[in-house]
Amino acid sequence: MAESILNKIEKSIKSMKRGSIIFPSTFDSIGNVEVVKKSLLRLVNKEFLVRLAHGIYLYPKQDKLLGNLIPSIEEIANAIANRDKARIIPTGITALNKLGLSAQIPMNVVFLTDGAPRSINIGKRSIKFKKTTPKNLAVRGEITSLVIQALKEIGKDNITEEQLEKLRSHLGSEKTRIIEHDAKLTPAWISKIMKGNLA
Query: What mean pLDDT value characterizes the chain?
Result: 92
pLDDT at 2: 52
pLDDT at 73: 92
Neighbour count for residue 126 (Cβ, 10 Å): 16
- Domain range summary for the chain, segments of one domain joined by +: 2-69, 73-196
pLDDT digits (tens, 9 = 90+) for 137-191: 999 999 999 999 999 999 999 999 999 999 999 999 999 999 999 999 999 999 9
In this model, does residue 198 exceed pLDDT 90? Answer: no
- What distance in Å separates the CA atoms of residue 23 and residue 33, rounded to the nearest whole number? 10
* Distance between CA atoms of residues 154 and 184, nearest Å: 20
Q: What one-character-per-residue DSSP string does the chain give?
A: -HHHHHHHHHHHHHTSPTTEEE-GGGGTTTS-HHHHHHHHHHHHHTTSSEEEETTEEEE-EEETTTEEEPPPHHHHHHHHHHHHT--EEE-HHHHHHHTTS-----SEEEEEESS--EEEEETTEEEEEEE--GGGG----HHHHHHHHHHHHH-TTT--HHHHHHHHHHHTTS-HHHHHHHHTTS-HHHHHHHHHTT-
pLDDT at 3 over 70: no
At residue 199 the predicted structure's pLDDT band, cuts being 50, 70 and 90, is low
The upper half-sphere exposure of residue 152, i.e. CA atoms within 13 Å in the direction of its Cβ, equals 15
Fold of 2-69: Arc Repressor Mutant, subunit A (1.10.10)
4-56 per-position pLDDT tens digit: 889 999 999 999 999 999 999 999 998 888 999 999 999 999 999 999 999 99
* pLDDT grade for 1, boundaries at 50, 70 and 90: very low
> Are the CB atoms for 78 and 129 separated by under 8 Å?
no
